[in-house]
Structure 1
Amino acid sequence: MGKRAILLGCFEKNEDKEKYLLTENATKFDETVDGKLSDAINVIGPLKKNKCRVFYGLSPTHPVVAVVGLGPNNAGYNDSEEIDEDRENIRSAISVGTRTLRDLGSIDQIDVDDCGDGVAAAEGSHLILYNYDELKGESLKKSNVNLNHLNVSKDPEAELKWNYGLTLAKGQNITRRLMETPANLMTPTRFGNIAVEELSKLGVKVHIRDRAWAESQKMGSFLSVANGSDQPPIFLEMHYNNAPNTKPIVFVGKGITFDSGGISLKPSLNMDKMRADMGGAANVFGTIYTLASLKASVNIIGLTPLTENMPSGKATKPGDVVFAMNGKSIQIDNTDAEGRLVLADALCYAHNFEPQLILDIATLTGAMKVALGAAMVGVFSTSTKHYNLLQKCGVQTGDRVWRMPILSHFTKQITDSATADLNNIGGAGQGGACVAAAFLKEFVTNPNWMHLDIAGVMDNKDDVSYLGKGMSGRPMRTLVYFAKAFFNNELN
């Protein structure tokens, strides 16, 4: 039988004579054990930020006690890092403690201190425990641990915050699962079926559009990518409207369920990661799933063109010319620049809903990974006020964004084609992420548009401590915050 553990927080404290400051929950726990916790900490001294100590035998109800260092109390907003350090410190420290206790192997219940911010604590603890091991044998799976909110004061507001953070973490973990699942198990058809299964019960209307429908819409750009695969393409449409009498935001997500590069074949090294080239679609799904779970007062439409990009006798060849939904001709000089091709038709289709904003999200370019690495999501925006709101949301979630340029300098590269209206890669070979954004802009007439290139944040090594290794599901929580703030009239 497993043991019950308690995870508590401890701040640094430089003022006064005190060397550290226990959180409210930790202080009350210390009182119940007659100061044994403070005595145990004092043996070695205060904890450094993101460090964890484990004590035994302090309490009959909790035979295992872990304490984590939260860093300075009231660290506040860090302008140079563009982050709320209080929240990020809690996420990181609580994740360290949660993983430490889980890895002991004998713990099945952890009472988690919210450290004064239940949203951040719930996120850190639940995100770190996610591990895609469902295809492994039972002996190789991580032990299952139940997390409980430690709320000694029984504060209902604290409980609401914890549950909100839990819902956000669950949504991101679902996004990660979609991205992590092998491509033979996450085909366009399977993705669409999951959307029906999971979203319909939350009040989301889901439409699965097939190849014939895409042909009727004259989506020649999208279908040119699908031609090389034996898997039928799906154009997935999801509607969640809990804000009557408003115009929607349309989220468009790139849904390449496996990207071989097509005829312009990718190198074999790390090609397996291209199972997550539908990370944009997964983020759109996860965002709508989370907003619907929260019963948020928003009006969101999600569009995700889903297909594989494969080489075959039917595949598009370099130099071929296809026609997008808006009638523009596209010379395809590189079939591995396919994400922009499927998004082009989806962006055209998005205008049918007369949205207030179109936001697309895609693992689009290796150039973005070179530019920003895993630090931030690159954002191209035609509207400063919408970008500013997204940036503020990234500060709160710890999933930051950075604005990139949309210039005629890049547009000239993709419009310089002797054969067609547009070329899908341009000719300069520089500023690849900016060239891709310029291409997409050719299919947008709505004055409010944002393009998020998430190639750099697709997977996580040791970049974000509370995510662990694997596909990240970023920046799903930022999109949830943004949608809620948008419909709460927080634009300025």
Structure 2
Amino acid sequence: KLTSANADAEGWEKGITYAEGQNLARLLMEAPANHMTPTAFANIIEEKLAPHAQRVTINKRPQNWIKEQQMGAFLSVSKGSEEPPVFLELHYNGSPDGKQPPLLLVGKGITFDSGGISLKPSPSMDAMRADMGGAATVCASIVTAAALKLPVNIIGLAPLCENMPSGKATKPGDVVTAKNGKTIQVDNTDAEGRLILADALCYGHSFNPRAIVNVATLTGAMDVALGSAATGVFTNSNWLWEQLHKASVVTGDRVWRMPLFQHYTKQVTDSQLADLNNIGKYSRSGGACTAAAFLREFVTAPHWAHLDIAGVMSNKDEIPYLRKGMSGRPTRTLVEFAASLAHDG
């Protein structure tokens, strides 16, 4: 029998689990990059999911597998670093219907971003230890979904690597080939997140997901546009936008819809040497929008959303209970979204 007392207790426990999920993402993002390498990140997630082994399958794909999958865009980013890349693949099978199409979550996992040959300015470069915030929030949301035993199937993909300058690093102007065969002129090696996501999105389509949501600290332009008020959402699906917006209203971790105009697509398809350029024709204009337009070139699914979380990556003093540091946003909104899909069947 449900009473107000046990309903309150149930809500309290659920809230604690949501908070633990966000704190896991914060921990992953805040950790120094020499401790949170691609291998270390994958091992921590494996450890966190160990109590849910009956419902979860974990694959830590090594570099040879990435090469076999012809993920040339991902490999082009990772090759400047001594740390080997890892393609982390998580399967949470929570639905009693094993044939239920999964929700696919894809997270950018750059465990440190120096900018590569297109080197970033040194002030605040240390914050780029959190450039794997997309992978952190995606993986933490799956850990949370497993802890809550949500009756939904979720697949999580996290391409993990460092973006470093070395004699082996990709050079501005190089052309690489993504998994779907599209060629990419890499005019700015600091626009690397979209490269690793491109291959992950291509691979993810093979699971015939009901919806695809990728999450990434993708562009400084997103921070300029919205600051830390909300996560920017670019989507080809009104239904998916409505679901994400409803979830964000419940959690208070807001989202805001951004445009996916062909105007921006034209700027990334205007390449001198390849099918696409990894930066927009007018580099600083609409940078978050041209990045989203680039990702769209690797999506054929009717329900896809790209969440640019660069603006909400860290907390200064806007949210008192988070204190200063990496925020772990929007983990709770992702969990709430997954829970709503489970409820709707």
Instruction: Give the TM-score taking structure 1 as reference length.
Output: 0.68
1:197 corresponds in structure 2 to 47
User: 1:300 deviation in Å?
Assistant: 0.3
Q: Does 1:253 align with 2:107?
A: yes
Q: Is the contact between residue 30 and residue 130 of structure 2 (CA under 8 Å) also seen in structure 1? A: yes
Secondary structure of the structure 2 residue equivalent to 1:162: helix
Q: Is the contact between residue 246 and residue 299 of structure 1 (CA under 8 Å) also seen in structure 2? A: yes
Paired AA for residue 71 in structure 2: M
Instruction: Give the TM-score taking structure 2 as reference length.
Output: 0.97
Q: 1:392 and 1:326 mapped to 2: Cα distance?
A: 33
Q: Does 1:262 align with 2:116?
A: yes
User: 1:200 deviation in Å?
Assistant: 2.7
1:234 corresponds in structure 2 to 86
1:27-426 correspondence to structure 2 within 5 Å: 155-203=5-53, 204-243=56-95, 244=97, 245-426=99-280
Q: Is the contact between residue 387 and residue 450 of structure 1 (CA under 8 Å) also seen in structure 2? A: yes
Secondary structure of the structure 2 residue equivalent to 1:155: helix
Which of 277, 294, 298 is the aligned partner of 1:439? 294
Q: Is the contact between residue 42 and residue 60 of structure 2 (CA under 8 Å) also seen in structure 1? A: yes
User: 1:157 deviation in Å?
Assistant: 1.1
Q: Identify which range, 283-292 or 202-211, moves more after superposition.
A: 202-211
Secondary structure of the structure 2 residue equivalent to 1:158: helix
Deviations along 1:240-267, one digit per CA (max 9) or x if unpaired, are 0111231001100000000000000000
Paired AA for residue 199 in structure 1: L
Paired AA for residue 326 in structure 2: M
Q: Is the contact between residue 258 and residue 276 of structure 1 (CA under 8 Å) also seen in structure 2? A: yes
Q: 2:42 and 2:178 mapped to 1: Cα distance?
A: 23
Greater C-alpha radius of gyration? 1
Secondary structure of the structure 2 residue equivalent to 1:335: coil
Q: 1:154 and 1:318 mapped to 2: Cα distance?
A: 61
Q: Is the contact between residue 150 and residue 342 of structure 2 (CA under 8 Å) also seen in structure 1? A: no
User: 1:196 deviation in Å?
Assistant: 1.4
Deviations along 1:38-70, one digit per CA (max 9) or x if unpaired, are xxxxxxxxxxxxxxxxxxxxxxxxxxxxxxxxx
Q: Does 1:477 align with 2:332?
A: yes
Q: After TM superposition, where is structure 1 displaced by more than 6 Å over at least 4 residues in a row?
A: none
Pairs aligned (count): 338
Q: Is the contact between residue 460 and residue 468 of structure 1 (CA under 8 Å) also seen in structure 2? A: yes
Gaps spanning 5+ residues in structure 2: where?
none
Secondary structure of the structure 2 residue equivalent to 1:195: helix
Paired AA for residue 321 in structure 2: Y
Q: 1:403 and 1:210 mapped to 2: Cα distance?
A: 36
Q: RCO (CA 8 Å, sep 6+): is it higher in 1 or 2?
A: 2
Q: 2:292 and 2:125 mapped to 1: Cα distance?
A: 24
Q: Is the contact between residue 382 and residue 447 of structure 1 (CA under 8 Å) also seen in structure 2? A: yes
User: 1:475 deviation in Å?
Assistant: 0.4
Q: 2:243 and 2:204 mapped to 1: Cα distance?
A: 22
User: 1:155 deviation in Å?
Assistant: 1.3
Gaps spanning 5+ residues in structure 1: where?
1-152
Paired AA for residue 376 in structure 1: A
User: 1:426 deviation in Å?
Assistant: 2.0
Paired AA for residue 286 in structure 2: G
Q: Is the contact between residue 208 and residue 234 of structure 1 (CA under 8 Å) also seen in structure 2? A: yes
Deviations along 1:196-253, one digit per CA (max 9) or x if unpaired, are 1111321321100011000000000000000100000000000001112310011000
Q: Is the contact between residue 199 and residue 205 of structure 1 (CA under 8 Å) also seen in structure 2? A: no
Paired AA for residue 111 in structure 2: T
Deviations along 1:9-29, one digit per CA (max 9) or x if unpaired, are xxxxxxxxxxxxxxxxxxxxx
1:20-31 correspondence to structure 2 within 5 Å: none
User: 1:154 deviation in Å?
Assistant: 8.6
Secondary structure of the structure 1 residue equivalent to 2:181: coil
Q: 2:302 and 2:240 mapped to 1: Cα distance?
A: 11
Q: 2:20 and 2:339 mapped to 1: Cα distance?
A: 17
Q: Identify which range, 424-433 or 219-228, moves more after superposition.
A: 424-433
Secondary structure of the structure 2 residue equivalent to 1:311: coil
Paired AA for residue 282 in structure 1: A
Q: 1:208 and 1:443 mapped to 2: Cα distance?
A: 23
Q: Is the contact between residue 278 and residue 362 of structure 1 (CA under 8 Å) also seen in structure 2? A: yes
